Chains A and B, each alone.
Chain A
Amino acid sequence: MREDNLNNLIDSYGDELYKFCYHLARNRVDADDLYQDTFLKAIQLRHRLVGSGNVGEQYTEEEANRKNRNFMMGIAVNLWKNQSRRNNRRRSMVNIDEYTHGELQIKSNENVENDSLRREVIKRLNDHIDNLPDKLKVVVCMYYTAEMKTGDIAKILHVPSGTVKSRLHLARKQLKRSLEADGYEI
């Protein structure tokens, strides 16, 4: 029964969660750990999943999926924040080239030259995202990778919705300033 639940969770949210973990952790090793820990935590807290019999009967399938997805992302964020605090030194030693060069696939653009330039900008952007304070980085990742609504992010982070918006704004502003300092026009 428990294993069936876990299998269902993996089938339903595995791909999306892994993408999120990967962009949050920014390397495969940490992403794998975070992904595993998130599922193990989720299965411990499965009574909170919508449709588990405890809550959720009043939700449509779409709402239930969204709630469960946000629940999973929330666990991942909390685990990552805790892990991140403990592993700050270790994380700083992870070679982010793996993320920026080795695995990131840039969409092709109008021509090779522009594509190459854009690739360079994205690489620099990823460097700068990695240097953002955790509070800003988490919000950016939730918004752009998981495409979560600011209201949902606010609930997960226990902050007002306006705080999420201001963090997003601040993150974009800091990233813009950093890219402009690199000589790019944003």
Chain B
Amino acid sequence: MKYDMDDLLRESMSKDIKPSLELNQSVLQRDREEYGMISSHNGKHSRKFKIAKVAVAAMAGLVITSGVAYAATQLWNEDVASKFGVADDNGGMQELKDKGFADVPESTDSQIASVTSKGIEVIALQTLADKKSAYLYLEVDYGDEYAAVTHGATADSDTWVAYPDIDITSSKDQNLSWSGGAAQVKDAHTVTYEYYVMAQDSDFSNCDINIDISKFTVDNVKADTTPDVLIKGDWNLKWKISSGAEKRIYHINKTLKVKGKEVTINRLEITPLSYTLYLDGEEKDTKEDAPVVSKIYLGEDEFTGMGGMSIVSSIEDTGTFSEILDVNKLTGFKYGDKKIDITDCEYETVDSLDGQ
């Protein structure tokens, strides 16, 4: 007998099971207990609040703006927590520490930047940064005058999202590469955006990062190549990034055939948020089918956070992660068609690249 997979899946998950009355009562009871506890025990509330702010300090860095408004406080953003696979609570904070983001600033005065101009507000919600890369999570409130989407926020397929024309620089005059785009449509006037930023020649320690937005555009619905300008203006954000987690450099120095071509892999630089694989040779045009690091192995497990930004050339392959990598568990990676074990490779730990 032949079965249809789609039918089987629907049938296997078709059981219509309902919560018991007791379970619903216990939800209400737990809410009364937990809500009541926070309301009446100031000490506990304050402590919880402080830890949450430290979580922001660890991952968001200190956020300072020039001539713009401050948000009072900002908790560990749950969108970012979800994306990077950590809980948006104290457990998540502990998990971050366990994964190498241990350099937690003592300050609890972290503030997230925001700037409003011409009715559009840009808010820096969260930053994750290590020694090589940063992830920026911004929210733009287009206000009542501008629609963030052209076909309604709930449309599934024909939603055209407005986006900022953005320039990202740093106070260290670093050679930055970045990519990003809309992350989530919150409602018809609010969209969040994510940007992966890589610093090739120095790290983000104690450096100000600047965001300059000169206009907001939206892709032309009629598929013209030129996006429509929603509004021009000047939106500037500036804040200091704190990069806590270390960077590791594995010296591999192996020559092997990858997809039929001989390559020498020099070294792998890896952080919880990104990697760069350096190859020996001369820089030349890279074809689209050039080998890349496609998998990272953590013992018997595969790291599930591959994705994000990618830059490939004939002498290096760089990528950012969509989850936080525990570099302590790293055992190897797959480059092209070759699995490379690095458990025997020597590595050095880099706390700061300043001055190099």
Contacts and interface: CB of A to CB of B under 8 A. Distances in A.
A185 B1 contact: yes
A158 B183 contact: yes
Interface string A13-57: 011001100110000000010011001100101000000000110
Contacts of A105: 15
A125 interface: yes
Interface residues of A, number: 62
Given A2-B35, A40-B34, A81-B82, A104 B26 contact: no
Contacts of A181: none
Contacts of A10: 24, 27-28
A130 B223 CA distance: 43
Given A22-B17, A122-B11, A86 B27 contact: no
Given A106-B11, A122-B12, A186 B5 contact: yes
A78 B82 contact: yes
B30 interface: yes
Interface stretch (B40-48, B83-91, B116-124): B83-91
A141 B18 contact: no
Contact of A82 (B34, B91, B157): B91
Contacts of A6: 27-28, 31
B15 A155 contact: no
B252 interface: no
Interface residues of B, number: 50
Q: Is the interface of A mostly helix, strand, loop or mixed?
A: helix
A35 B27 contact: yes
B185 A158 contact: no
A70 to B, nearest CB: 10
B13 interface: yes
A165 interface: no
Contacts of A118: 3, 11
A134 B85 CA distance: 12
Q: Which of B12, B91, B190 has the most CB of A within 10 A?
A: B12
Nearest to A106: B11
Nearest to B20: A32
A21 B31 CA distance: 19
Contacts of B26: 36
Contacts of B72: none
A15 B11 CA distance: 18
B355 interface: no
A95 B316 CA distance: 47
B28 to A, nearest CB: 6
B261 interface: no
B304 interface: yes
Given A35-B27, A158-B83, A126 B17 contact: no
Nearest to B32: A3
A3 B28 contact: yes
A19 B3 contact: no
A73 interface: no
A97 interface: no
B156 A18 contact: no
Given A125-B9, A172-B5, A36 B184 contact: no
B26 to A, nearest CB: 6
Nearest to B8: A125
Nearest to B17: A22
B336 interface: no
Nearest to B188: A58
5 contacts: A55-B187, A82-B85, A118-B3, A125-B12, A151-B157
Q: Which 10 A-B pairs have the closest CB atoms?
A: A151-B156, A18-B19, A82-B87, A145-B13, A144-B13, A55-B187, A185-B2, A78-B82, A39-B27, A158-B83
Given A6-B28, A35-B23, A184-B3, 4 more contacts: A6-B27, A117-B1, A158-B82, A158-B184
